[in-house]
Chain A
Amino acid sequence: MKMLWILAMKELRDGLRNRWIAAAIIVLGTLALVLSLLGSAPTGSIKASAMDISVISLASLSVYLIPLIALMLSFDALVGEFERGTMMLLLTYPVTRWQVIMGKFLGHVLILCIAIFAGYGGAMLIMTFVTDASMDGWQAYISMMMSSLLLGAIFIALGYLVSIFVKERATAAGTAIGLWLVFVVLYDLLLFGVLLIDEGQIIGQQLFSMLMLVSPTDTYRILNLSMFDGVSQAAGIAGIASEAGMSASLLIGVMLLWVVTPLAATLLIFQRREL
């Protein structure tokens, strides 16, 4: 445990040193603030609170932004150390390979945690002065931040898998962008395209729910847009998740699986790797 902490702190210090954390806080904070303040205007007749609107717009934005930030943090984590030669020296120290991976993971998740909670959380604090928020809205906002962290953890893990798989940093960067495109853009496009063509003949609700659960970004979306009444009414998708038999714990479980699987695969490849 001590080793994990030493390795995690190194990553955290790196993040502070290269202003990475600061930049992420500014980006996330500014966007959250802008979206929340803009979003608090057109609440009009549907009686949606500003907080709920913020959750919807931030969740939609996070689907794009958080995976990108997470992949940027992680794609270089292993291949970079192999390429520079620092991994060889590190492994002659009393650390096991799983400690190296998990230490980095812990560090990167901490970086993301700071960025999300400082960025989104800061915006939330400012909003409390501007608008009135219901208890439900607060909960939805906080759960949005937590699930954003979980979404980030998924893409950090996926980034490691890319990082251990490829031989060069440039390839890792390219693959990471490809991964982002697939999960954030292409999969949904493809799914909706198929749905349009299919017109409900083969793909029923059950299959559709399953297909949504395959993609971690969709799981995140469902989790945020449909788990709180205020939010799901404002988003216009009230009750969709519960009708499809998706509970919050199922959705979180799926997301956790998306964290564990790539991490385990990375570790397995790393254990066999010869330096």
Chain B
Amino acid sequence: MNPANKTSDKVISLAGVSKCYGSETVVSDVSFTIQSGECVVLVGHNGAGKTTLMKMMLGLTRPTAGNVEVLGSNPAMSTAVAQHKTLGYLPESVAFYEAMTGREVLTFYARLKGASLSNCDNLLDIVGLSHAAKRRVGTYSKGMRQRLGLAQAMLGSPQLLFLDEPTTGLDPSLRHQFYELIDALHKEGATSLISSHALNEVEARANRFIIMKAGIMIASGSLDELYQQAALPVRLKVSVTPGEAASVADRLGAEINISEINNQTLKMSCFNGDKMPLIRRITDLGDVVNDLQIMPPKLDEVYNHFMSGKQIDGGQS
């Protein structure tokens, strides 16, 4: 969304991409670009088309209409295969060759990618699988498979990462570790596209969100931009000298939307654009105001707003 580097380092660009399976449209007219070094999160419910979008960017499926360009070429062409050296992918439900051990799986993939084999043990260590490296993958639990999946996606320090629901099945500490790994790759200039339905988890990491619903891209932008697009009310909680709440409400005027009022607190809401004037009016009230809390809309609310396609209650006309 930053126009300054729009053309400079385009890693992924989709233009009018649609995908139909028979009569069912899974992705419909999606366009966006991702710049080098960005961390973009694809958000949406199951079946929103996130996985299909990733598969098209990986060249596993071809779009029914539109153009996909990854690292400067069409991923569905066999010539794009050489670029797969610099990308890592973690599928939604990752499957491995069950009869191989964890280490065998990782070294097999490392060989294919031309990555250093000596790094495999290190990666197994990072994802906490070194104790199970010599066990057959068939005996691994869901979480262990996911960790092995992460390890293979990290092989060869990828420049571009596609992570489909990466943290499902990971415990909180491993989740944290996982995001540290992603951060480290980002510092080296890697670009990543992460799909998730847990918004709060990725909120701090992502530069940008792309919200998908039933195959349609319904919103895209940074967190701030999404807040603006959603135009959700900001909530304010004002604490006043006990007993003064009613008079404060009078002084603020009838046009202020006060949702709750009791002896010493008032809860009100306003749109982002009206926020500063309202705050000034409150501070102008003088010593009667003890405290003022400003609560921006929660990310969940923004998400729900886009998902339900209607405003969340509490706004003023």
Instruction: Say whether A93 contacts B60, CB under 8 Å.
Output: no
Cβ contacts under 8 Å, B111 to chain A = 6
Contact A89 B112 (CB under 8 A): no
Q: Judge if B61 is at the interface, Cβ distance under 8 Å.
A: yes
- Complex interface: chain A residues within 8 A of B99 (CB): 14, 17-18
* C-alpha gap A17/B136 in the complex (Å): 11
Q: Which of A80-88, A199-207, A247-255 contacts B (4 or more CB under 8 A)?
A: A80-88
User: How many residue-residue contacts, CB under 8 A, span A and B?
Assistant: 67
Given the interface pairs A88-B60, A274-B60, A274-B62, the reply to whether A94 lies near B91 with Cβ below 8 Å is no
Q: How far is the CA of A6 from the CA of B109 in the complex (A)?
A: 10
Given A85-B93, A86-B96, A88-B91, do A94 and B62 touch, yes or no (CB 8 Å)?
no
A61-119: which have CB < 8 Å to B? Answer: 84-86, 88-98
The yes or no answer to A41 lying at the interface (CB within 8 A) is: no
Closest Cβ of chain B to A119, distance in Å, is 23
Asked, given contacts A6-B112, A274-B60, whether A94 binds B95 with beta carbons under 8 Å apart, the answer is no
Q: Find chain B residues with CB under 8 A from A92 CB.
A: 58, 60, 84, 87, 89, 162
A268, CB-defined interface residue at 8 Å: no
Q: Are B85 and A89 in contact, CB atoms less than 8 angstroms apart?
A: no
Question: Which of chain B's residues 157-181 have a Cβ closer than 8 Å to chain A?
Answer: 162
> Which residues of B, 44-81, contact A by the 8 Å Cβ criterion?
55, 58-62, 78, 81
Q: Report the Cα distance A253→B297, complex, angstroms.
A: 74
CB contacts (< 8 Å) of B104 on chain A: these are 13
In the bound complex, CA of A85 to CA of B162 (Å): 17
**Assembled-state Cα–Cα distance A84/B93 (Å):** 10
A85 contact from B59, B91, B108, B112, Cβ within 8 A: B91
A3 contacts B by Cβ under 8 Å = yes
Give every chain A residue within 8 A of B84 (Cβ-Cβ). Answer: 92-95
Is B249 at the interface (CB under 8 A from chain A)?
Answer: no
Residue of A88, A97, A98, A275 with most chain B CB atoms under a 10 A cut-off: A88
B305 at the interface (CB under 8 A from A): no
- CA–CA, A14 to B105, complex, Å? 12
Given known pairs A84-B95, A86-B95, A274-B60, the reply for A94 and B114 (CB within 8 Å) is: yes
Q: Is the CB of B87 within 8 A of A89?
A: no
Question: Is the beta-carbon distance between A89 and B108 smaller than 8 angstroms?
Answer: no
Cβ distance B80 to chain A, nearest Cβ, rounded Å = 10
A93 near B78 with CB under 8 A, answer no
Residues of B within 8 A of A167 (CB): none
| Number of chain B interface residues as a range | 20 to 34
Query: Is A89's CB under 8 angstroms from B95's CB?
Result: yes
Q: Does B32 contact A (CB under 8 A)?
A: no
A261 to B193 alpha-carbon distance, docked (Å): 41
Q: A14-B99, A88-B91 are in contact. Are A6 and B108 (CB under 8 A)?
A: yes
Tell me if B89 and A89 are in contact (CB < 8 A): yes
The CA-CA distance from A10 to B105 in the complex, in Å, is 10
Residue among B99, B104, B108 facing the most chain A CB atoms (10 A cut-off) = B108
Within 8 A of B (CB), among A13-31: 13-14, 17-18
- Flag if A94 contacts B85 (CB, 8 Å): yes
Q: How far is the CA of A94 from the CA of B109 in the complex (A)?
A: 10
Q: Is B94 an interface residue (CB 8 A)?
A: yes
Inter-subunit contact B78/A96 (CB<8 Å): yes
CB nearest neighbor in B for A18: B99
Q: Contacts A6-B112, A17-B99 known; A94 to B93 CB distance under 8 Å? A: no
| A91 in contact with B95 (CB, 8 Å) | no
Q: How far is the CB of B136 from chain A (nearest CB, A)?
A: 10
A89 and B95 alpha carbons, distance in the complex (Å): 8
Q: Is the CB of B95 within 8 A of A85?
A: yes
Contacts A88-B60, A94-B84, A97-B78 given; indicate if A275 touches B55 (C-beta within 8 A).
yes
C-alpha spacing A96/B78, complex, angstroms = 6
- Provide the bound-state CA to CA distance between A92 and B83, in Å: 10
Q: Report chain B residues within 8 Å CB of A94.
A: 81-85, 112-114
Q: Which 7 A-B pairs have the closest CB atoms?
A: A85-B95, A94-B84, A92-B89, A274-B61, A275-B60, A93-B112, A94-B85
**What 11 additional pairs, Cβ within 8 angstroms, besides A92-B87, A93-B113, A94-B113?**
A14-B97, A18-B99, A84-B98, A86-B95, A88-B55, A88-B95, A92-B162, A94-B114, A95-B81, A97-B78, A275-B61
Chosen A-B contacts, 18 in total, with CB atoms closer than 8 Å, are A6-B111, A7-B112, A10-B108, A13-B104, A14-B97, A85-B94, A88-B55, A91-B58, A91-B59, A92-B84, A92-B89, A93-B109, A93-B112, A93-B113, A94-B82, A94-B85, A95-B81, A96-B81
| B interface with A by C-beta (< 8 Å) | 55, 58-62, 78, 81-85, 87, 89, 91, 93-100, 104, 108-109, 111-114, 152, 162
